[in-house]
Amino acid sequence: MLDFILTAAEYLAERILPILLGTAAFWLIRRRLIRQGVLAKGGRAHEIGVLVFALYAAAVLSLTYLPLRPVSEGGFSFNSTIWGLLTGTYTAGSWVFTMLAANVVMFLPMGFLTDLLWRRGRGQTLALCLAATLCIELFQPLAGRSFDIDDVLLNFLGGALGLLAAKLLRKLRPGAAAALQAEI
């Protein structure tokens, strides 16, 4: 039982605490910018959506960077697992397919929320998704992780699918989508 408690406490310290602290820092900065008149305060649904986005962004950063490892463990991988699977030069267990799917799912909220909260157009939303995944992957070697070209492709695909889901919501439930929209 003590081992379980220690493992849970370690997990909380390594993952959950940074997510909560990152979200709190974002929210405090946002509130200050709103008080200073730099940002406009949105409606209740928009503000809740922004908070959900902040939690999501902090969770992605926690997942992709923590725990920090020595830089010497990081690296760059331009050998595509996807290409290897398609050409038959690589066989993989189910965990590989789970990781590939997780990379798509991880960026679904990026395309979905950015389009609904700050509707800027399809091109800008896709550019943001690509820029975010590139930044994450390019800085991972500095955190002792590795750059993986498959992650960039799959994260971008997830962002694009999230954008499509936002467009579908906007079509099926225009009132709900409009409530999330920022006043620009």
Helices (H), the chain: 2-11, 17-35, 44-65, 81-87, 94-117, 122-139, 149-172, 174-180
pLDDT digits (tens, 9 = 90+) for 133-169: 999 999 888 888 888 889 999 999 999 999 999 999 9
Highest mean pLDDT among 89-93, 117-121, 180-184: 117-121
pLDDT, tens only, 51-62 = 999 999 998 998
* The pair of three-digit structure tokens given for residue 177, joined into one six-digit string: 């989508």
Q: Which residues contact 118 (CB under 8 A, 6 or more apart)?
A: 182, 184
Give dist(CA 119, CA 115) in Å, integer. 5
Three-class DSSP category at 173: coil
Report residue 46 CA to chain centroid gap. Answer: 19
Please tell me the distance from the alpha carbon of residue 66 to that of residue 8, in angstroms, as a whole number. 16
Altogether, the residues listed in the chain come to a count of: 184
pLDDT band at residue 78 using 50, 70 and 90 as cut-offs = low
Beta bridge partners of 143: none
Q: What is the DSSP letter of 90?
A: -
Residue type, 35: R
pLDDT at position 168 is 96
C-alpha angle 145-160-40 in degrees, rounded to nearest 5: 90
25-51 pLDDT per residue, tens: 999 999 999 999 998 888 899 999 999
Rounded distance between C-alpha atoms, residue 136 and residue 115, angstroms: 20
Please list the alpha-helical segments (H only) found in 66-121.
81-87, 94-117
